[in-house]
Amino acid sequence: MQTLYFALALFLLFNLCAGMWRILRGPSIADRMLAGQLFGTTAVAILLLLAQATESPAMRDVALVFALLAAVTAVAFVQRAWPDLEEKHDSD
Amino acid sequence: MTVIDYLSATLLIGGAIFFLAGTLGLLRFPDVYTRLHALTKADNLGLGLMITGLALQAETWASAGKLLLIWLLVLLAGASVAHLIANQALRKGIRLWKR
């Protein structure tokens, strides 16, 4: 099981790297934020897998904090940080 | 490996597939609204399956309960965030994707 946990954590990490492309490219600021949200959830999954694999329950608390912070970040983005002038949305 | 191990391995791999689908959707879908759809799949089902798989392996009931609470928090936050972002995107005048 240990091997499976580590393999899945690595797989999710590769998913994160692929998602980075959306953050770099955009096109709108909301798309970047969505990729950030996905990173948050994936990080929670990775932390939980590592907590089980290395038998360190403290990592579960870190995952809990990540989940909480991801939610707060998105709300702050919608309420405060979304500029009024939206970039042109491409249609590809 | 016991039966529980096989069951939780299946659930974990299923969750990973949903995460892959979410990432692919985020990369391939054409606008904010459709990407939001891909994102919530990874949030709800991907993490849900992973947490079920891990909870089967948990040593104590307390740690299984904590995993469940993390999932409930992510569910609640994911649903509210998806609604907020879609609502605000409509207000900012981001057009819906049409073929």
DSSP code string of B10-68: HHHHHHHHHHHHHHHHHHH-SSHHHHHHHHHHIIIIIHHHHHHHHHHH-SSHHHHHHHH
Average pLDDT over residues B66-74: 91
Cβ of B11 under 8 Å from any chain A Cβ?
no
Q: Is the ipTM of this complex over 0.95?
A: no
Which residues between 58 and 77 in chain B have a beta carbon less than 8 angstroms from any beta carbon of chain A? 58, 63, 66-67, 69-70, 73-74, 76-77
pLDDT value of position A85: 59
pLDDT of residue A62 exceeding 70? yes
* A31-58 confidence digits (pLDDT tens): 888 888 999 999 999 999 999 999 888 9
What pLDDT sits at residue A43? 92
Instruction: Please report, for chain B, how many H helices and E strands are present, in that order.
Output: 4, 0
Identify all chain B residues contacting A13, using CB atoms and an 8 Å cutoff: none
Which of B20, B63, B73 minimises the CB distance to A60?
B63
What percentage of chain B has pLDDT greater than the value 90?
37
A38 to chain B nearest CA, in Å? 6
Q: What is the mean pLDDT of residues B44-53?
A: 91
List chain B domain ranges.
Answer: 3-91
CA proximity to B12, closest of B46, B43, B37: B46
**Residue A80 — pLDDT band, cuts 50, 70, 90?**
confident
Q: Tell me which residue in A22, A45, A63 faces B27 most closely, judged by beta carbons.
A: A22
Q: What is the pLDDT of residue A92?
A: 46
User: Maximum CA pair distance of chain B?
Assistant: 54
Structure confidence at residue B20 (pLDDT): 92
Are A45 and B66 an interchain contact pair (Cβ–Cβ within 8 Å)? Answer: no
Q: How far is B12 from chain A (nearest CA, A)?
A: 8
Question: Tell me, what's the pLDDT at A88?
Answer: 52
B66 contact residues in A (CB cutoff 8 A): 60, 64
